[in-house]
A = this chain, B = another copy of it.
Amino acid sequence: MNATTRSAAVAALEGIVGTRHVLTDPPLFAGALVEPRGLYRGKALAFVRPGTTQEVAAVAAFCNDARIGIVPQGGNTGLVGGQTPDLSGDQIILSTQRLKAIREVDPHADVMICEAGVTLAEAQAAALSADRLFPLSLAAEGTCTIGGNVSTNAGGVTVIAYGNTRDLVTGIEAVLADGRVVHGLSKLRKDNTGYDVKSLFVGSEGTLGVVTAVSLRLFPNPRARATAFVGVESPEKALALLGIARERLGGAVTSFELISRFAYDITVAHGLARAPLAGDHPWYVLIEASSQVADGFEDAFGGALEAALHEGVVADAAIAASLDQRHAFWRLRESIPEAQVREGGSIKHDVSVAVGDVPAFLNAATRAAEAFEPGARVCAFGHLGDGNIHFNVSQPVGADKARFLARWDAMNEVVHGIVARLGGSFSAEHGVGRLKRDLLARTKDPASLAVMRQIKATLDPNGVMNPGKVL
């Protein structure tokens, strides 16, 4: 794009959203040009902040006509490069940061309507202020936005009970590439009038349109909650504990997080969390359950753990006796990524398999990773209840970080091969973005991939919506 075209484009964008909301000087939006882990860096023609859905629509229509790529960006916490522009400097970042309205919280319908730029924490708080629960919860919740959560179909720590983001969306408002607006902010629990357009936008990572607002399901705010930290001998025992918990507590099990001893040890060693259990165990589980029925709930929760102890499924268990202790348990779980940073380079995999296959995956992948890079330390943890494991591999002690990280793709190949043999997914919750685009093209069922490409081509024929991502 030459200088004349660039300034004409900037002027046109300023005409739509106002001069103050079109930033062109890179230092003013430097943070938006880099992915949080530094894996991707981009340039941009402008950082554009529309304030209304109509402005988003006008920006899209202009960019579509001018063939300017639009990279939607919320909290910039994505882990696959989906929110980062390329290096051409010809794309714009369309920031949702001014789309901040919580348009409605309706506790009768158990629905709230949030604009894309509302942070997840703000959405949770709005629900709570109406004595309702919006259950989506993940580490980045203070920064990540609802628009990003929806665009990436975010997962997190409560999927076992409440599902992924897609399961929480009852309706959507989205701007198509050509500026048409899909008005689908339904509060309905049941609506069989045609194809499921909403689910198509959820998880499409901005490649089909810009999500500007969504209606989200709310739930009763649980009256009782119980949390335990448990030591187990193996992933197989952890799975058996999950079976006992599901059998005895059913849908009340809201989180079931598996933590390897290595992940536990480094987190404690770096002083990021207290050790919840006195002894050492090969694996740990953080289990949480919640219920509307407070009477007898603690007994039921304790009873499930006692049964597991009695059957030799569990080696040791601590039930949180206070809110402080609960937070301490969660702090350990949530500090693992930071502990990993302190241990040097880490090669990451966000994978899922059928829940029953998690032990087989962990055994095979650990052997393979250790054989591939002798001395490498597997740091596995994640959402066993959903079959989703963050299978991260820390560099050998004292090894050269850059040299270790240079083997990222090759290590991925080893681990993803095992995932594929088990019928699993190489992106359980983080999405495809730019990081896994080629992997998707290489490994996805051909007819499914063809359907995706046909949909992309018909909805965004000029390819302006988040170009180079997903497909």
Contacts and interface: CB of A to CB of B under 8 A. Distances in A.
A192 B448 contact: no
A399 interface: no
B432 A193 contact: yes
Contact of A250 (B222, B427, B452): B222
Interface stretch (A15-23, A43-51, A63-71, A292-300): A292-300
A159 B445 contact: no
A450 interface: yes
Interface in A151-209: 152-153, 155, 159-160, 163-164, 166-167, 176, 180-184, 186-197, 199-200, 202-204, 208
B295 A182 contact: no
Given A183-B445, A195-B455, A292-B250, A109 B190 contact: no
Interface in A240-285: 243, 246-252
B354 A111 contact: yes
A193 B249 contact: no
Contacts of A421: none
A192 B293 contact: no
Contacts of A459: 451, 454
Contacts of A392: none
Interface residues of A, number: 96
A190 B296 contact: no
Contact of A292 (B204, B248, B296, B470): B248
A199 B164 CA distance: 14
A176 B451 CA distance: 9
A24 to B, nearest CB: 31
A226 interface: no
Interface in A206-220: 208, 219-220
A12 interface: no
Interface in A421-470: 423-432, 436, 440, 444-452, 454-455, 457-459, 470
Nearest to A357: B109
Nearest to A359: B108
Contact of A194 (B106, B183, B449): B449
A239 interface: yes
A353 B195 CA distance: 19
A426 B193 contact: yes
A200 B452 CA distance: 11
A251 B251 contact: yes
Given A192-B431, A295-B296, 17 more contacts: A108-B354, A108-B356, A164-B190, A182-B448, A187-B423, A190-B383, A190-B429, A192-B427, A192-B430, A193-B427, A194-B203, A195-B451, A197-B448, A199-B200, A220-B247, A248-B293, A451-B459
13 contacts: A108-B243, A109-B356, A163-B167, A188-B423, A190-B383, A191-B428, A195-B455, A196-B202, A197-B448, A220-B246, A249-B292, A295-B299, A296-B296
Q: Sorted from nearest, which 10 A-B pairs have the closest CB atoms? A: A108-B356, A250-B292, A109-B354, A296-B296, A199-B199, A191-B425, A187-B354, A190-B428, A189-B386, A454-B458
